[in-house]
Amino acid sequence: MTRTWFITGASSGFGRLMAEKLLARGDRVAATVRRPDALDDLRAAHGERLWIANLDLRDTDAVRRTLDRAFGELGRIDVIVSNAGYGLLGAAEEATDAQVRDIIDTNLIGSIVVIRAALPHLRAQGGGRILQVSSEGGQIVYPGFSLYHATKWGIEGFVETVAREVAPFGIQFTLVEPGPARTNFGNGIVQPEPIAAYDGTPAHLTRDALFSGDWVVIGDPDRMADAMIAVGNETNPPLRLALGSTSYQAIRDALHKRLDELEAHRAITVSTDYPAEELA
């Protein structure tokens, strides 16, 4: 059965890969891009099965208009893929105020607006699926990526909450958490002006490792895109789906560490309740 997918950030990376695969198998794709000509080759190959809109997620009114137009022109949309975003690599104090606002407006607020704009349409059609592309960086951290992590941890909290709110309407969510993959993500990373005091510290060591070529990336974006499409078709999808063994191991280690720390301070934690006699 032909399905219709709405994908933000479809000009490159996972968004582009998913669009190619979905069109090749006969599905319809509504794709948003920042460059008008980014998908000319796919449009030439697939014609009306590819619907394209230019969109900057920082323009919240445009996001709402684009979702309204997509549903209005295409009818039912089965899966929303909120994928657009980018990285910022540098110590927290190195970023300018404008850079802070820009990544939050794009990665976090932009994703929230996409989801909020889609919900009334999904409720009206009796359900649907939203895939929010997060990252292993929604549950773990690398020094130097503090602002990127802030957006990913933020969208994970938002999605987990909204998933419970809209479950009665047949709307399902999956947070997709890829680990490092051989996409062009690195090409779009914003790098603030470095502060020399951070040379040799964790933030700059992350930067040096990323761009030195010594960081061996084993995640296959093609296989990850296949996994995203598969989970978009599952009847009972998981709330979170880690992709890649790097992501699996890093998230697993982080969760164990958090649990160990929680248990280590249990006595202090529970001591801050009112005692039973004071509650009587």
The residues assigned a catalytic role are: 134, 148, 152
Q: Cβ(81)–Cβ(8) under 8 Å?
A: yes
- Identify residue 151 by its one-letter amino acid code: T
Q: How far apart are CA 198 and CA 205, in angstroms?
A: 9
Type and span of the H or E element at 63: helix 60-74
Token pair listed for 278 = 């004071």
Beta bridge mates, 81: 7, 131
CB 203 within 8 A of CB 95: no
The CA distance from 28 to 276, in Å, is 60
The number of residues making up the chain comes to 280
Measure the CA–CA gap between 216 and 164, rounded to whole angstroms.
Answer: 38
Backbone angles phi, psi at 165, to 5 degrees: -65, -40
Amino acid at 12: S
- Of the CA atoms within 13 Å of residue 155, those in its CB half-sphere come to 38
Residue 73: partners with Cβ closer than 8 Å, 6 or more residues away: 51
112 contact partners, CB below 8 Å, separation of at least 6: 155, 158
In the 8-state DSSP scheme, what is residue 209?
Answer: H
